[in-house]
Amino acid sequence: MTWRLIYSRKIQKDVEDLCRRAQSEGRLALVLDILQRLTKRLKTDPLDVGEPYNRMKHYDLLLCVFVEGPLVVDFAIDDARHWVYLRRVELLE
C-alpha cells in the first residue's frame, strides 16, 4: 500500500533552500540521493524509517526523526489514514 506524503509550502521552501545550500557546499548530489531514497521509503513503509520519539495521542500520530549523513527529517505518521506529514527538514553543519 502506498502512503501519502504531506508537506506544507514552508517545508517545500525549506527543502529548496536546503538544496541551494547543499549545492554551494558541494553536497547536492548526496542530499538529493538521500531525499529520493527517503521519499520512496516513506511512501512504502514509513513505520520502518527513522526512530520514533513521541506519540501525539489526541491526533493519533507517531512522531519520528530520520538522520542520514547531513540530513535530519522530522515526520509524523498517521497510521489510520496512511499519511506521512513532513514536519522539519534540516541540513547539518
Domain residue extents for the chain:
4-91
DSSP 42: H
Backbone angles phi, psi at 35, to 5 degrees: -60, -40
Count of helix runs (H) and strand runs (E) in the chain: 2, 5
Angle 89-93-28 from CA coordinates, rounded to 5°: 65
Sign of CA dihedral 90, 57, 83, 36: positive
pLDDT in tens, the chain (93 residues): 899 999 999 999 999 999 999 999 999 999 999 999 999 999 999 999 999 999 999 999 999 999 999 999 999 999 999 999 999 999 998
Which superfamily does CATH assign the domain made up of 4-91 to? Answer: RelE-like (3.30.2310.20)
* Grid cell 514509513 in the structure block, residue: 46
